Amino acid sequence: MANYTPKPEHKFTFGLWTVGNIGRDPFGEPVRPALSPVEIVHLLAEVGAWGVNFHDNDLVPIDATPSQRDKIVSDFKKALADTGIVVPMATTNLFSDPAFRDGAFTSNDPKVRAYALHKTMHAIDLGVELGAKIYVFWGGREGTETDAGKNPLEAGKWFREALNFLSEYVLDNGYGAADGSGLKFALEAKPNEPRGDIYLSTTGAMLGFIETLDHPEMVGVNPEVAHETMAGLNFLHHVAQAWDRGKLFHIDLNDQGIGRYDQDFRFGAVNLKSAFFLVKFLEDVGYDGSRHFDAHAYRTADYEDVKAFARGCMRTYLILKEKAEQFNADSEIQALLAEITADDGSMDGFKGAYLAEKAAALKAYTFDRPALGRRGQPYERLDQLVVELLLGVR
């Protein structure tokens, strides 16, 4: 019988804001009492998580005095030491306070843009103090409801300037290094919610943007299942592009129906097949960053059910990991894959880099076009085997 117990090497993490979510939504009040950060750390240890991540204000309220901050941070450190829970990632809340109603780094108000830098530098200090190696930027308010009042070129320039400024801040303080070791940034795209439209709305857009920065080696992405899915896109394809560029620094796992509001469901709760292909990809390529569950329990849950939610995220991941191993070892599946990708070597001379002679030979080659079009590929048989594997009858 397989063992689906989470272990530190699985690098399962949750945010303080995830299991700590109190179930407020635009239509209703909180349904669960708030837990303190210390209580959340103990809850995460109880369910078997490896790490906890936080926004600055999940830990230290925005209006805390310096002595309150010090007490909160030392209590939190003690909880980490008592439980062995680590802090792999930290981030800034640049969306809750009314000051950020028109964005943070892309607000039209230069005072807000400066305040966003000020707040983020303090939050980076806090994250580094607690051991974070990845610093996430999710620009929830970086966008518009109307394009009448904000120039997207200016906004893009401000966002770039902010990230350049903060990269230098990290280097200047010895938190990171220009070769990309030390603290790294991970940019998280989302198409909308809470803004009508958020800038740099997909992981692909973020990957393009990163190359325009002064220190692209320090900056990668933090793709989230729900975000590409909200837009009706194939999340796995975005993750693969990020991996290909060496930019998959972090990942936010959850689940989401296409076209729905931002649901943040338990990992695998909606689309098990997509979750399977995602886990298979991460395991096959050897992704070794955090598996961060940026999700929360249904509003109907009490804290016992919140624990079931957290355990479920990790257990589903581990079950799918085992299914991926089965897929790779299944001789019928592998035989179909071999058939689909079969290569008789006759095109070897045309492969690889351009050469003038190669191009000339290829142009002169006579293809049996009707034969190319006649060749079936057994994707139906293969996909049915995947379905049966997932349904547990293989």
Q: Residue numbers of the site for ligand GCO (CB under 6 A)?
A: 55, 91, 136, 138, 140, 188, 190, 224, 252, 262, 294
Of 104 and 333, CB closest to Mn ion: 104
Residue 288: CA count within 13 A, CB half-sphere:
2
Tokens coding 144: 């518009």
Residue nearest to ligand GCO (CB): 138
**Other Cβ atoms within 10 Å of 346 Cβ, number:** 8
Minimal distance in Å, beta carbon 274 to ligand GCO? 17
To ligand GCO, the closest distance from the beta carbon of 2 in angstroms equals: 30
Closer CB to ligand GCO, residue 261 or residue 365?
261
Report the candidate in 306, 212, 187, 261 with the shortest Cα–Cα distance to residue 26: 261
Residue 130 CA neighbour count, 13 Å, CB half:
35
Task: Pick the catalytic residue from 56, 58, 102, 252.
Answer: 58
In degrees, rounded to 5, the angle at the alpha carbon of residue 30 between the alpha carbons of residues 222 and 85 is: 45
- Residue 194: is the preceding peptide bond cis (ω within 30°)? yes
């990809």: which residue's tokens? 281
Q: Could you confirm whether 262 is annotated as catalytic?
A: no
CB of 250 to ligand GCO, least distance (A): 9
Q: For residues 35 and 136, which CB has a smaller minimum distance to ligand GCO in the complex?
A: 136
Alpha-carbon span 136 to 90, nearest angstrom? 6
* Smallest gap from residue 50 Cβ to ligand GCO (A): 17
Nearer to ligand GCO, 136 or 320 (CB): 136
Among residues 216, 224, 59, the alpha carbon closest in space to that of 138 is found at 224
Q: By CB under 5 A, name the binding residues for Mn ion.
A: 224, 226, 252, 294
Q: Are 305 and 298 in contact (CB under 8 A)?
A: yes
Q: Residue 197: which of Mn ion, ligand GCO, none does it interact with, CB under 5 to 8 A by kind?
A: none
Q: Shortest distance, CB of residue 165 to Mn ion, whole angstroms?
A: 23
Of the candidates 137, 140, 138, the one whose C-alpha atom is nearest the C-alpha of residue 102 is 140
Q: Which of Mn ion, ligand GCO, none does residue 136 bind to, with CB < 5 to 8 Å depending on kind? A: ligand GCO
In the list ligand GCO, Mn ion, none, the entry touching 228 (Cβ below 5 to 8 angstroms by class) is none
Known catalytic residue at 55: yes
Select 271 or 386, whichever has its Cβ closest to ligand GCO: 271
- Per-residue CA distances from 76 to 66, 365, 385 (Å): 15, 69, 48
* Identity of the residue, 11 or 323, whose beta carbon is nearer to ligand GCO in the bound complex: 11
Strand order in the sheet with 51-55: 219-221, 184-188, 134-138, 89-91, 51-55, 12-15, 291-293, 252-253
Distance CA 61, CA 54 (A): 12
Rounded least distance, CB 311 to ligand GCO, Å: 20
Residues 58, 62, 65, 66, Cα dihedral to 10°: 60
Output 142 or 252, the one with its CB closest to Mn ion: 252
The option from ligand GCO, Mn ion, none interacting with 142 (CB < 5 to 8 A, set by class) reads none
At how many degrees (to 10) do helices 203-210 and 152-172 cross?
A: 60
Listed residue (253, 392, 271) closest to 323, CA to CA:
392
**Residue 80 structure tokens:** 């980490």
Contact 112, 100 (CB under 8 A): yes
Name the catalytic one among 10, 25, 42, 55: 55
CA separation for the pair 256, 241 (Å, rounded): 21
Q: Least separation, in Å, of the C-beta of 89 and ligand GCO?
A: 8
* Dihedrals phi, psi of 314, to nearest 5 degrees: -70, -40
| From the list Mn ion, ligand GCO, none, partner contacted by residue 91 (C-beta under 5 to 8 A by kind) | ligand GCO
Positions marked active-site: 55, 58
